[in-house]
Structure 1
Amino acid sequence: MDDGLNLLNIILLAIAVGVFLKLRSVLGRRTGHERPPYDPYSENPAPGNDKVVTLPKRGRTDAPASGARDRVIDAAGDPFANAGARFRWRGVTEEGSPLAGALDAIADADRTFDTESFLSGARMAYEMIVTAFAAGDRATLKPLLSDDVYASFEGAISAREKAGLQIDQSFIGIDKAAITGGSLDGTRARLTVSFRSELTSSTKNSDGVVVEGDPVTVREITDVWTFERDLRNRDPNWKLVATGAAA
């Protein structure tokens, strides 16, 4: 029994050695100088192979160089026309309008100017001025108004105080604010804004009796205000220089 197993083991070992020698003769031995596997995404072609075509790196696209995709030939045949150039006052006014020209002039004179920031500041100024006027808050009004407008507001406040009247007002909010006009005279920029707001307002006498308005009813008011700023001045704030109601 043991002799049979030993003979079988010898036969299997001989077969394994024969297979190994056969494979070695076919595949050869590694010498350390074999050509590495070819990577089709490699930036450099394999040496000694002139027919290898270098493919683009993975993850890259065939997009043109920066800025090239924005350059097209326009109707006049200008190869440098910028297709990405858009009318910068879109949503504020129409292209070619007098307001667009005024905004261009202001922006050229003050490179930090943009309508979004201006309207944000104008909204805050409107609420502060309306609220301060109702409360008779001269200290808040003074830096926000031109001298002429402040004199007018201060005169109305003084007359109200002498008559023993008091305004009871609740400012609800601004529904809409839009730039409706503009100009640049030298370095003085002017922009007119139409505000549509909601508030409750009533005037009471010294006894607390309502003599005008309604403290409960919400009123919709449209004001047209003009702001001015000297662009040479480092102060970025605009001042109210004119007030009016919508036509």
Structure 2
Amino acid sequence: MGFFDFGTIFFLIAAVVIFFQLRNVLGRRTGNERPPFDPYTAARSREKKDAAPATSGTENVVSLPKKRSPGADEDAYKVIDTVAKPGTDLNRGLRAIKDADQSFDPKGFVDGAKMAYEMIVMAYADGDRKTLKNLLSKEVYDGFVSAISERESRSEKIQSSFVGIDKAEIVSAEMKGSEAHITLRIVSELISATRNGAGEVIDGDPETVAEVKDVWTFARDTRSRDPNWKLVATEAED
């Protein structure tokens, strides 16, 4: 029994000594230790550091992407060539817009213009000034609002139903400074009738689908972050 007690005490003392030695060697956690070393993160950091260009004393300089030179990448013009024959004025105009705005897609533009056309036609019929203001240039908006106000002053209302667009094609395109201008010929079908204050039809026909031909021009400043185009000119085609 005495041997057992002595052996137990001996091993207990040895364990305490080993614990304190390890504590002195490894130290205690204080909550301020550095995170474990990650060789992959360190390697990536070195690669980024090695790849970073010299700043030559200017730390806040950001390199801007170079603007693509006209004609530098024919592949980028494939979307243009599908809607306008190469060598034509229309093709050159669309290419100029593409040079100024690399995200420009003529097919996407036409789809958006068709949606805008319907919204504008219906907003004008309904006297919806708020919608028109977001889609029209100031000059065109003022003209539309003037016509709406005159109509309202006579207590007239337009009853209109949009049937659809039969055709929408780009007929001209050009850059005016930093502003892109695209003109479309739009053929649509519309049921429209104007009624006076007594509800009598004074123009149009509420039962007949009429073909409407318009030539509309949309514009957008390519330097602006706003991707939306606005209607800047309208004319009816005979």
Same fold (TM over 0.5): yes
1:193–1:86 CA distance, 2 compared to 1 (3 A) = closer
Larger radius of gyration: 1
**Structure 1 residue aligned with 2:219:** 228
From 136, 158, 177, the counterpart of 2:168:
177
CA displacement at 1:90 relative to structure 2: 3.5
Query: What is the one-letter code of the residue matched to 2:170?
Result: I
Structure 2-normalised TM-score? 0.67
Structure 1-normalised TM-score? 0.64
Write the mapping of 1:1-247 to structure 2, written as runs, cut at 5 A: 87-247=78-238
Query: What is the one-letter code of the residue matched to 1:119?
Result: V
CA shift digits 1:58-96 (9 cap, x unpaired): xxxxxxxxxxxxxxxxxxxxxxxx998985434422211
Query: What is the one-letter code of the residue matched to 2:99?
Result: D
1:101–1:209 CA distance, 2 compared to 1 (3 A) = same
CA shift digits 1:199-239 (9 cap, x unpaired): 10000011111111100010011100000000000000000
**Whole-Å Cα distance in 1 between the matches of residues 76 and 90 of structure 2?**
19
CA displacement at 1:155 relative to structure 2: 0.2
Matched position secondary structure for 2:80: coil
**Structure 1 residue aligned with 2:43:** none
User: What's the % identity of the aligned pairs?
Assistant: 52
CA displacement at 1:117 relative to structure 2: 1.0
CA RMSD of aligned residues (A): 1.9
Query: What is the one-letter code of the residue matched to 2:196?
Result: N
Counterpart contact for 1:87–1:95, Cα < 8 Å: no
**Structure 1 residue aligned with 2:37:** none
**Whole-Å Cα distance in 2 between the matches of residues 183 and 84 of structure 1?**
21
Matched position secondary structure for 1:243: strand
Counterpart contact for 1:227–1:239, Cα < 8 Å: yes
Query: What is the one-letter code of the residue matched to 1:239?
Result: K
**Whole-Å Cα distance in 2 between the matches of residues 152 and 83 of structure 1?**
41
1:205–1:114 CA distance, 2 compared to 1 (3 A) = same
1:181–1:203 CA distance, 2 compared to 1 (3 A) = same
**Higher relative contact order (Cα pairs below 8 Å, separated by 6+ residues):** 2
**Whole-Å Cα distance in 2 between the matches of residues 243 and 101 of structure 1?**
23
Counterpart contact for 2:172–2:184, Cα < 8 Å: yes
Aligned residues: 166
Matched position secondary structure for 1:89: helix
Structure 2 gaps of 5+ residues are 1-72
**Whole-Å Cα distance in 1 between the matches of residues 115 and 219 of structure 2?**
15
**Whole-Å Cα distance in 1 between the matches of residues 177 and 77 of structure 2?**
27
Structure 1 gaps of 5+ residues are 1-81
1:166–1:95 CA distance, 2 compared to 1 (3 A) = same
